Structure 1
Amino acid sequence: MYEPLFNYIERYARAGIADGEKDIIRSAFELKRLSKKQYFSEEGKVCLYTGFILKGAFRQYSVDDSGMEHILQLAIENWWIVDRQSYINQTPSAYFIEAWEDAEVLILPRAKLDVILTIPAIQSMFWQMSENNHIAFQKRVDDTISLNAVKRYENFERLYPQIVQRFPQHQIASYLGIARETLSRIRRPSSR
């Protein structure tokens, strides 16, 4: 059950994990199963965990005053899911994180974060993840302000084909900041 997490850590940390360190990681993380549509975290509540997805898919979103959803993140196996601001600062979340499919997640309670941060491979992994997240965020903002809807979708489809297959069009459109109807036109084979 922990092998995908260990593989992820070693891939991003580029360093091995000693057996004793694996025991620390196993004792810090817990397995959580969620049913489709079950919340991992809810708006207005503190996000208590960060989660490494073993199985399933999640979406992180906010809901505006008119009831419209705005997708912030779509995530699948071997990705992390968390409202980082709420989790780190222990403040109420502005987002919902919902299982889009039945899911299994290794969760790390905030209280155990400092324990695993004593492991050099974990420190390195979190640093690399933070760098990658920052770069991806910059690219997403740049694409949103500088590319038309067609190019945004083409880039997304090229980078994340598995997400395109697992989430409905309206959620992908929301994530990309384009209208559902526009995405429908883009995805029609005759329009490409």
Structure 2
Amino acid sequence: MYDSILAHVGQFIDLEPAEIDYFTSLLRFKLLRKRQYLVQAGDVCKFDSFVVKGCLRTYFVDDRGSEHVVQFAVENWWTGDLYSFLTQSSAAYNTDALEDSELLQIDQASLDELYRRVPKFERFFRIISQRAFVSAEKRVIATISQTAEERYLNFIERYPGLDQRVPQHLIASYLGFTPEFLSRIRKQQASRRK
């Protein structure tokens, strides 16, 4: 059950057997069924969640009731409402499962104790946070500087196979355009490949 998270962590820090045992003792297994919420806007995000298996989306709902996807999370990704988790305040985002999903979770008190007892985990989570921040910056730059077609092609290249797992209307929401517009882009791409 812990192989994927330990391989993920092992990309950034080396752990002794006792540190592995301590880390895994803090993790909680969570099974989410398709369409089940991990966290809902207004609730407090109590766990930082690592995706062992499955696919989730994080989104917010605007004042008009429209959903806006801000993140997908698949195997070996962390997900949840980070601000809510860190501050233990109300979540701004919803996170739900697009597929049956298996997660490993850690609560904030356990994470703080992990930092204290195994300080190298502060390095691990700093690197993960930095990568997430850089990814968010790149997404902002792409949104304001790339054409819709370029954003779609970048999405396909950056997240291979995700377009086969996620409904097209959610990809359109993530990219910031309508499902009809995404359909036109996909048709254009298909005709160019012929």
Q: Is TM > 0.5 for Structure 1 vs Structure 2?
A: yes
Q: What is the CA deviation profile of residues 93-137 of structure 1, one whole-angstrom value per residue up to 9, with x for unaligned ones?
A: 011100111111001111211122232442221111111111111
Equivalent AA in structure 2 for residue 179 of structure 1:
T
What residue in structure 2 maps to residue 175 of structure 1?
174
Equivalent AA in structure 1 for residue 10 of structure 2:
E
What residue in structure 1 maps to residue 123 of structure 2?
124
Structure 1 contact 185–191 (Cα < 8 Å) conserved: no
Equivalent AA in structure 2 for residue 8 of structure 1:
H
What residue in structure 2 maps to residue 38 of structure 1?
36
Structure 1 residue ranges without an equivalent (≥5): none
Equivalent AA in structure 1 for residue 21 of structure 2:
D
1:32-111 alignment to 2 at 5 Å?
A: 32-111=30-109
Aligned pairs, number:
190
Rounded Cα–Cα distance in structure 2 between residues aligned with 1:133 and 1:90? 20
Equivalent AA in structure 1 for residue 87 of structure 2:
N
Equivalent AA in structure 2 for residue 41 of structure 1:
V
What residue in structure 2 maps to residue 190 of structure 1?
191
**RMSD of aligned C-alpha atoms?**
1.2
Moved over 3 A (4+): none
What residue in structure 1 maps to residue 22 of structure 2?
24
Equivalent AA in structure 2 for residue 3 of structure 1:
D
Rounded Cα–Cα distance in structure 2 between residues aligned with 1:2 and 1:191? 44
Rounded Cα–Cα distance in structure 1 between residues aligned with 2:88 and 2:178? 34
1:191 shift after superposition: 6.1
Equivalent AA in structure 2 for residue 144 of structure 1:
T
1:44 shift after superposition: 0.4
